[in-house]
Amino acid sequence: MQAFETVHAEPRDSVESPGFRVNFWQRPSPETAWSLDAYFLSGAQDVDEVLRWVDEHAQGRRFEVFAEMEVEQVKAFAEPRTTPLLRLLGEDPNAGESAEIGRFVEV
How much is the pTM?
0.79
H helices of the chain, in order, are: 47-57
The pLDDT of residue 99 is above 80: no
Question: 26 vs 47, 51, 57, 61, 92, CA distance in Å?
Answer: 23, 18, 13, 5, 11
Q: Name residue 78's amino acid.
A: A
Look up the domain containing 27 and give its range.
Answer: 20-90
9 is a domain residue: no
Q: What is the pLDDT of residue 104?
A: 63
Q: For the chain, how many structural domains are there in total? A: 1
Q: Contact 22/38 with Cβ under 8 angstroms?
A: yes
Q: Which residues contact 78 (CB under 8 A, 6 or more apart)?
A: none
The pLDDT of residue 58 is above 70: yes
Cα(69)–Cα(72) distance, integer angstroms: 9
105 is a domain residue: no
